[in-house]
Amino acid sequence: MDFSWTPHRFSGGALALDVANSVILRHDPDRSCDRFAVAQQLDDFAGVAPSLSAEGPQYGAMTPVQPANRQAFLHLREAIDRYYRARTLGVAERGYLATLLEATAENLRLAPSEHSLECATARSALRLITEPAPDRMKICGNCGWLFLDRSKNKSRFWCDMAVCGNRAKANRHYHRKRLEMRP
């Protein structure tokens, strides 16, 4: 299969969000795709995260998720997405945070060492509860990924201007043209 982890796929600004964003187009079940459904891609993620994730330097080299931990890790991923997506939309329920904390605890317990994707993702997910301020977290207007907006005036709409910003611009142009062409 022709797939590679590109810098764009690490647009979240935090490791936990990059992990959550391994599911493409969550809001569109027909086109949605789970990059971690392929074990090799999940293994490769740990290899490139130290250099491509914004938090990479903080965590350094990390071992891939142990096969026995995969299910718990994917559970953590879903808990990250559910809690932070709901918090960003202002609809977080107390239970979502509890589930996230349980999932991080489970992954910290299972992690073979501090230098593992399980451990690094759990720590990143915990840090995001307070840091940076919650209003820095956003949902990309084009692809639905979670990302941190660290810009000075918190003005970002897109996870990645070069990809999603341009796509949105092209869409707007397309729709305008269609309107103009109407008889």
CB of 98 to Zn ion, least distance (A): 29
The binder of Zn ion chosen from 80, 143, 146, 148 (CB under 5 A): 143
Choose the stretch contacting Zn ion; rule: CB under 5 A; options: 22-30, 128-136, 152-160, 166-174.
152-160
Q: Tokens 């990390």 correspond to what residue?
A: 62
Q: Is 140 in the site for Zn ion (CB under 5 A)?
A: yes
Q: Is 159 in the site for Zn ion (CB under 5 A)?
A: yes
Q: Mask 66-105, x = binds Zn ion (CB under 5 A)?
A: ----------------------------------------
CB of 15 to Zn ion, least distance (A): 17
The binder of Zn ion chosen from 49, 100, 125, 164 (CB under 5 A): 164
CB of 67 to Zn ion, least distance (A): 31
CB of 95 to Zn ion, least distance (A): 28
Q: Is 41 in the site for Zn ion (CB under 5 A)?
A: no
Q: Is 148 in the site for Zn ion (CB under 5 A)?
A: no
Neighbouring C-alpha atoms within 13 Å toward the C-beta of 30: 0
Three-class SS of the chain: CCCCCCHHHHCCCCHHHHHHCCEECCCCCCCCEEHHHCHHHHHHHHHHHHHHCCCHHHHCCCECCCHHHHHHHHHHHHHHHHHHHHHHHCCCCHHHHHHHHHHHHHHHHHCCCCCEHHHHHHHHHHHCCCCCCHHHEEECCCCCCEEECCCCCCCCCCCCHHHHHHHHHHHHHHHHHHHHHCC
Residues lying near Zn ion in the complex (CB under 5 A) are found at 140, 142-143, 145, 159, 164
